[in-house]
Structure 1
Amino acid sequence: MSARLSYPAHARALLVLGLPLIGSNIAQMALHVADTVMVGWYGTIELASVVIGSATFFVIFILGSGFAQAVMPMVASALARGDEVQVRRDTRMGLWLSIGFSVLTIPVFWWSGALLLALGQEPRVAELGQDYLRIAGLGMLPALVLTALRSLLSALERAGVVLWATIAGVFLNVFLNWLLIFGNWGAPEMGVRGAAIASASTQFLMMALLALHSSFHPALRRFQLFVRFWRPDYAALVQVFRLGWPIGLTGLFESGLFEAAAIMMGWIGAVELASHGIALQLAAITFMVHLGLSNAATVRAGRAFGIGDMIGLRDGARTAIYMSSLFGVLVVTAFLMLPEPMIRLFLDPENPQGPQIVAYATSLVAMAALFQMADSAQVMALGLLRGIHDTRVPMVIASISYWLIGIPVSYLLAFPMGMGGIGLWLGLVAGLTVAAVLLMWRFWRWRGIAAQPA
Structure 2
Amino acid sequence: MTMNTLRDLVTLVFVGRARATVELAGAALAMTTINIACKSVLVGLASAVNTLAGTAYGLGAYERVGETTQRALLVTTTYAALTCAVFATRGEEFLAATGQDAGVSREAGRFLRAATPGVLCYAWTQCTMTYLHSQGITRPQALGGVLAAIAHPILCYYFVWRWEIGVIGAALAWSASSAVCLATQVAYATVWRRMFRERDEALALKRDMCWPGWQLRRAISTEGLREYFALALPGVAMKMEWWASEMTVVMAGYLPNPEIALSALSIYGSTNAFVFDASIGLGVASLTRVTHELGAGNAKRARRAVAVSFQLIACVGVIASVGIIVARKDWANLFTSREEVRELVSELMIALAAYALFDCAGAVQAGVMRACGKQSLAAKIVVVAYWIIGIPLSLALAFGAHMGALGLVLGGLVATVVHTGALGFVIARRLDWDAEVVSARDRHALSTSHAAEAGYVPRSSSFALLESARANDLTRQYGAAV
Partner of 1:147: 126
Other-structure match for 2:346: 362
Matched length: 418
TM-score by length of structure 2 reads: 0.83
Partner of 2:463: none
CA contact (8 A) 1:120 1:263 kept: no
> After superposition, where does 1:21-36 map in structure 2 within 5 Å?
25-36=1-12
| Per-residue deviation, 1:120 | 2.6
Matched-pair contact (CA < 8 Å) for 2:58–2:293: yes
Residue 17 of structure 1 corresponds to: none
Question: Counterpart of 2:153 in structure 1: which amino acid?
Answer: V
Amino acid at match of 1:157: G
Q: State the alpha-carbon separation in 2 of the partners of residues 137 and 365 from structure 1.
A: 32
Report the counterpart of residue 79 of structure 2 in structure 1.
101
Letter in 1 for 2:23: E
Q: Is the 8 A contact 1:214 1:225 kept in 2?
A: no
CA deviation digits over 1:369-405, x for unaligned, max 9? 1212221222221110101111111111111111111
- Measured against aligned partners, the alpha-carbon deviations of 1:202-228 in whole angstroms (never above 9, x if no partner) come to 222322332232123224544336535
- Which residue pairs with 1:238 in the alignment? 226
Which amino acid in 2 is paired with 1:254? E
Residue pair 1:102, 1:144 contacting (<8 A) in 2 also: yes
1:202 matched residue in structure 2: 177
Counterpart contact for 1:215–1:225, Cα < 8 Å? no
435 and 341 in structure 1: CA distance in 2 versus 1, 3 angstrom threshold: same
Query: CA 1:370–1:248 in structure 2 vs 1: closer, same or farther (change >3 Å)?
Result: same
The one-letter code of the counterpart of 1:298 is L
SS of 1:105's partner is: helix
- Using the TM superposition, give the Cα deviation of residue 444 of structure 1 relative to its aligned residue in structure 2, in angstroms: 2.4
Mapping of 1:4-83 within 5 angstroms?
Answer: 25-43=1-19, 44-60=21-37, 61-83=39-61
What letter matches 2:54 in structure 1? A
- Residue 388 of structure 2 is matched in structure 1 by 404
Residue 90 (structure 1) aligns with: 68
Matched residue type, 1:223:
C
Aligned to 2:167: 192
Q: State the Cα RMSD in Å.
A: 1.9
Q: Distance in 2 between matches of 1:118 and 1:105?
A: 17
Q: Which has the larger radius of gyration?
A: 2
1:262 aligned to 227, 249, 256, which one? Answer: 249
1:321 to 282, 288, 310: 310
Q: How far did 1:407 drift?
A: 0.6
**Structure 2: runs of 5+ lacking an equivalent:** 195-203, 437-482
Greater shift, 356-365 or 276-285, is seen at 276-285
Could you list the runs of 4 or more consecutive aligned residues of structure 1 that deviate by over 4 angstroms after TM superposition? 228-231
Q: Is contact 2:13–2:334 with CA below 8 Å preserved after alignment? A: yes
Q: What whole-Å deviation, never above 9, does each CA across 1:403-428 have from its counterpart, x for those lacking one?
A: 11111000000111111111111101
Counterpart AA for 2:75: L
Residues 68 and 145 of structure 1 are in contact (CA less than 8 Å); yes or no, is this contact kept in structure 2? no
Question: Taking structure 1 as reference, are residues 78 and 440 closer, same or farther at Cα in structure 2, changes over 3 Å only?
Answer: same
Of the candidates 163, 167, 187, which is equivalent to residue 212 of structure 1? 187
TM-score norm. by structure 1 comes to 0.88
What residue in structure 2 maps to residue 440 of structure 1? 424
Deviation, structure 1 residue 167: 1.6
- Identical pairs, percent: 22
Cα 1:439–1:447 change in 2 (3 A) is: closer
Match of 1:330 among 316, 319, 322: 319
Cα distance in 2 for residues equivalent to 1:417 and 1:409: 10
What's the offset of the Cα at 1:58? 1.0
Aligned 8 A contact 1:444 1:450 in 2: no
